[in-house]
Amino acid sequence: MTETADIVVVGGGCIGASIALHLAEKGVKKVILLEQKQLANGASGKGIGIIRTHYTHPVLAKLAQQSLQLFHHFGERFGGYDAGFHACGYFVLVGEADVETLHQVVAMHQQMGIRVDLAEAQQLQQVCGPLLDLSDVAAIAYEPDSGYGSPPQTTAALAQRASDLGAEIRTETPVLGINLDAEGRIEGVVTPQGAIHTRTVVDCVGPWARQFATQLGLEFPVTPIVEHVVVVERPTEVATVHPVVSDLINLCYIRSDAEQPYTRIGNSDPKYHAQFALSDAEQFQGQLFPDICDKLHQKLIRRCPSLTHAPITETYSGIWGVTPDYQPIIDRLDDVPGLYCAVGFSGHGYKLSPVVGDLVSRLILEPMNESVELLHLFRYRRFQENDWIKAPLSYAQARGLR
Ligand SMILES: Cc1cc2nc3c(=O)[nH]c(=O)nc-3n(C[C@H](O)[C@H](O)[C@H](O)COP(=O)(O)OP(=O)(O)OC[C@H]3O[C@@H](n4cnc5c(N)ncnc54)[C@H](O)[C@@H]3O)c2cc1C
């Protein structure tokens, strides 16, 4: 006899796990999450985990603000589990060209009730000790409540909570196909263990989005892009834990680990993204593209000369699913009734995952709910309509990443 489910969630990253949890929490009896390999097999396994509200688009800032609150109360809110969140603070550094934009973003955020302020170089030096060279920095913003978490730990926590609430989490279970009925509506999914009958599927396959939707005649403009991280060990004289630093001059982000004297640096320069694109997420095998780790290391030394001789302890890469405007696609897909998606988070989906789970579960269960109206911004059709998401403010070089 064919197995049935009320809702099948495909993909066991932080987004799929959060959606499964929120569906189970809202009383959906049989939610099954299917993950082709292990939980956090994709972007969520390697993300650097920065959680900040600094967005130039008010809707993204609002979602990030709501998510940040959830990270602060993660244990109470999600069954006592730990997301690995550290509120170590977050600084944004800009050069002369971006001073006005930074001031406007901070003012917008303050009006929204986000705890953020402009900061003096001295304030940052006090927190970071002799770590940073700020001679080229023209303005700084500071979010004291932001920081970073652990994406794999968060994914496991969300999935475990979903399971506690009755959802089934099945790893090593790829969705090989989707069955439609004669009217073209979702009828089920196909796995190596057999078919599962369902009328509702949520596509959360991240960087696999383009290939996954092809079978349904849908074109998801999601490009898998390899993202690199360099880790150095700080010498004892600069070994204090430091806050997250988003450097919009060198276009990189830097954070320390809470338990070890390590500093991690990643790239936020969009000009590299085309070079690191793959035609299929399956091509990703943890490869490192030539030169980029050296470039990241140089950026780190430029911003933190005190780390010039700090040994590199690790270089690694993960994979992003990037859309043309660097924003996710979150929608109910009317071309295939019963299909929903939350994919293409383009390098900033981890911080949004708690709130996205709530919004997508509402989109499915209470489609007229006012709180999901803002999801219209992230609709699938915006690319065909040539109506990409565009922030009212923008930094000189950072594009949609901010
Ligand atoms: C190096 C790096 C740094 C990052 N830094 C940050 C940051 O500082 N802050 C931030 O907010 N975000 C950051 N991100 C981005 C963030 O990690 C992602 O946006 C987020 O993890 C996306 O989660 P997801 O669940 O959408 O996708 P994924 O985590 O990629 O999950 C998709 C899952 O779907 C599964 N899947 C695919 N096809 C199938 C199928 N047919 N059947 C079953 N399962 C399938 C995959 O195996 C995978 O586990 C970073 C990412 C990387 C790689």
Residues 2-13: tens digit of each pLDDT: 899 999 999 999
Which atom of ligand 1 is found nearest the CA of 350?
A: 11
Return d(Cα 186, Cα 175) in angstroms, integer. 14
Give yes or no for residue 46 CB within 6 A of ligand 1: yes
Query: Which candidate, 217, 170, 162, places its Cα nearest to that of 194?
Result: 170
Q: How far is CA 281 from CA 97, 102, 288, 320, 400, in A?
A: 36, 35, 15, 9, 22
The pLDDT, as a whole number, for residue 402 is 67
Q: Are the C-beta atoms of 35 and 171 separated by less than 8 Å?
A: yes
Q: Is the C-beta atom of 328 inside 6 A of ligand 1?
A: no
Distance, CA 14 to ligand 1 centroid (Å)? Answer: 7
Ligand 1 centre to CA of 57 (Å) is 22
What pLDDT was estimated at residue 14?
98
How many whole angstroms separate alpha carbon 325 and alpha carbon 283?
23
pLDDT on residue 401: 61
The C-alpha atoms of residue 369 and residue 215 are separated, in whole angstroms, by 31
* 99-111 and 58-72 helices, crossing angle to 10°: 60
Residue holding tokens 């968060």?
A: 154
The pLDDT, as a whole number, for residue 236 is: 86
Residues of the chain with pLDDT below 50 are none
Ligand 1 contact, 35 CB (< 6 A): yes
Domains of the chain: 3-46+152-222+325-401 (3.50.50.60)
CB of residue 212 inside a 6 A radius of ligand 1: yes
Ligand 1, atom 27: nearest CA belongs to which residue?
206
Whose CA is closest to 83, among 175, 160, 6?
160
State pTM to two decimals.
0.98
Pocket test for ligand 1, best of 8, 9, 15 (most atoms within 8 A of CB): 15
Predicted pLDDT of residue 149: 98
